[in-house]
Structures are given as C-alpha cells and as structure tokens.
C-alpha cells in the first residue's frame, strides 16, 4: 500500500467508533504479555551473543583450535533449555571442552539457535494472537462489512434505476444531446461500476467477491449496529 493511502486511511479511523477502537487497542499484538515476555527473552539472548562475541574477539591472536563437536540435537536441546529456563548460558551445562575459547564458540552456537527458535516462536505466537483478536472483533467486523455491502448494493440499484430512466427518455423520443445537462448518459465511472471496464471489474462482480470473502451469503443478516 502506498504511503499516501496509508495516511489517508488513518484519517478515517475515527469513523470506526470509540467502542471498536478501544477493543482493538486492548488487543494490540505487541502489547500482549506473552509477546512482551518473548521480546524480553530475545533481548537477553542477543545481549549474551554480543558478550560472547566480544570475548571470542579477545582470543583472535590465540592459536586456532577446533570447536567441541555437538550434534544438531544437542544444540537444539540446549537452545530450548536456554529459552524455557530463561537462564544465562553460563548457567547451562554444556558438553566438556578443553579451552575457554572453545566453550565460548560452543555457547555462541547454542545462543544462535536459541535466537532462531525465539523468532519461530514469535511468528507462531503472532498468528495465534491475530486469530484470537479477530475472533473477539468479529461481531464488529461483520457489522462494518455488512454496512459496506448494503451501501454498494444501494448504489448498484440506484445506478440501474438511472440507466432505466435514461432508456425510458430515449424510448419516448427525448434524444440524447437535446436533453438537459446530466440527463443524457451515466458518467464514465458509473458505467464502469455497472458494466466493468478494461481496467476494473463491475460492481456486481466486486460485491460477489466481497460477500464471499466476508462469508456473508445474505447481506444484512446478523448485523451488529456500530
């Protein structure tokens, strides 16, 4: 969405109504305790990674030594333990190693995997929170969507009525071009809405899609006033 449209959309926010706005703000995704807790864990893991990397960099002039080998399952298990117990990596027992630098490299690998797991958890948590939030806002959403559908249905009916009036005038000998301004034909955007155009579908097609997307077989049913 272009920035101009996003800014314009914000100006319409007050039309939604205070009750809905208040309910939606209570459900802000990044304000939920579960998301805040996950963010705090991620911050602590990132801070530990920075700390370990600084210590590793301090060994840059020391002889290169192989890092103690760990299986992917071991790394995964220790990474999950770091997240679940929310302890410092220094407080989590890791496989025996020979040098301090090896230990730091080992811890770094575990922390990197923990960070990946946190990011996966956040993605799934966000999906869960969005679904739960939308379920709570569903009564309001149905009311708004139904209102839009009914308004467009009214527009479609009025445009067809206008087309019928113009056809009536023509059939009675009131030739186009001799009638008052605005009495000759529907305007281009109206014709596009009724019959579609090369660049846009008809209003009837759009309404059909809107009903399908909003799961409203009959507009106006189960409507909640907003």
**Is pLDDT of 79 > 90?**
no
Question: What string of DSSP letters covers 115-148?
Answer: HHHHHHHHHHHHHHHHHHHHHHHHHHHHHHHHHH
Model confidence over 110-119: pLDDT tens digits? 899 999 999 9
User: What interhelical angle do 203-214 and 100-171 show, nearest 10?
Assistant: 140
How far out from the chain centre does Cα 181 lie?
A: 47
Q: What is the mean pLDDT of the segment spanning 46-71?
A: 72
**Is pLDDT of 221 > 70?**
no
Model confidence over 34-48: pLDDT tens digits? 999 999 999 999 999
Answering whether pTM is above 0.75, one says no
Look at 1-5, 21-25, 55-59 and tell me which has the smallest mean pLDDT: 1-5
Specify the pLDDT at position 226: 33
The fraction of the chain above a pLDDT of 90, given in percent, is 43
Domain spans, the chain: 27-214
**Is pLDDT of 100 > 80?**
no
Specify the pLDDT at position 26: 92
Average pLDDT over all residues of the chain: 83
Asked whether the beta carbons of 40 and 99 are under 8 A apart, the reply is: no
In terms of C-beta density within 10 A (0-12 exposed, 13-18 middle, 19 or more buried), how is residue 51 classed? Answer: middle
Specify the pLDDT at position 224: 42
Specify the pLDDT at position 158: 95
Confidence of residue 96 (pLDDT cuts 50, 70, 90): low
Specify the pLDDT at position 222: 43
Compute φ and ψ for 17, nearest 5 degrees: 110, 140
In terms of C-beta density within 10 A (0-12 exposed, 13-18 middle, 19 or more buried), how is residue 24 classed? Answer: middle
Q: pLDDT: is 8 or 176 the higher one?
A: 176
E strands, the chain, where? none
Q: Which residues contact 90 (CB under 8 A, 6 or more apart)?
A: 107
Neighbours of 104 (CB within 10 A): 22
Q: What is the mean pLDDT of the segment spanning 16-23?
A: 89
**Is pLDDT of 73 > 60?**
yes
Q: Which residues contact 108 (CB under 8 A, 6 or more apart)?
A: 49, 52, 53, 56
Look at 98-107, 156-165, 207-216 and tell me which has the smallest mean pLDDT: 98-107
């Amino acid at each position: 969405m272009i920035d101009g449209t996003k800014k314009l959309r914000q100006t319409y926010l007050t039309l939604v109504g205070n009750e809905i706005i208040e309910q939606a703000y209570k459900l802000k995704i990044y304000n939920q305790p579960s998301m805040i807790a996950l963010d705090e864990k991620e911050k602590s893991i990132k801070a530990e990674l920075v700390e370990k990397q600084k210590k590793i960099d301090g060994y840059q002039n020391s002889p290169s030594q192989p890092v103690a080998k760990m299986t992917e399952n071991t790394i995964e298990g220790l990474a999950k333990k770091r997240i679940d117990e929310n302890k410092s990596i220094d407080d989590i027992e890791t496989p025996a190693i020979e040098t301090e630098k090896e230990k730091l490299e080992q811890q770094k690998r575990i922390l990197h995997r923990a960070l990946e797991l946190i990011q996966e958890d956040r993605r799934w948590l966000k999906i869960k929170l969005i679904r739960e939030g939308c379920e709570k806002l569903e009564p309001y959403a149905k009311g708004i969507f139904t209102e839009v559908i009914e308004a467009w249905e009214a527009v479609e009916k009025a445009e067809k009525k206008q087309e019928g009036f113009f056809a009536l005038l023509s059939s009675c000998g009131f030739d186009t071009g001799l009638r008052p301004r605005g009495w000759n034909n529907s305007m281009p955007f109206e014709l596009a809405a009724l019959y579609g155009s090369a660049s846009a579908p008809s209003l009837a097609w759009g309404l059909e899609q809107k009903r399908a997307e909003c799961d409203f077989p009959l507009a106006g049913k189960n409507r909640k006033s907003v």
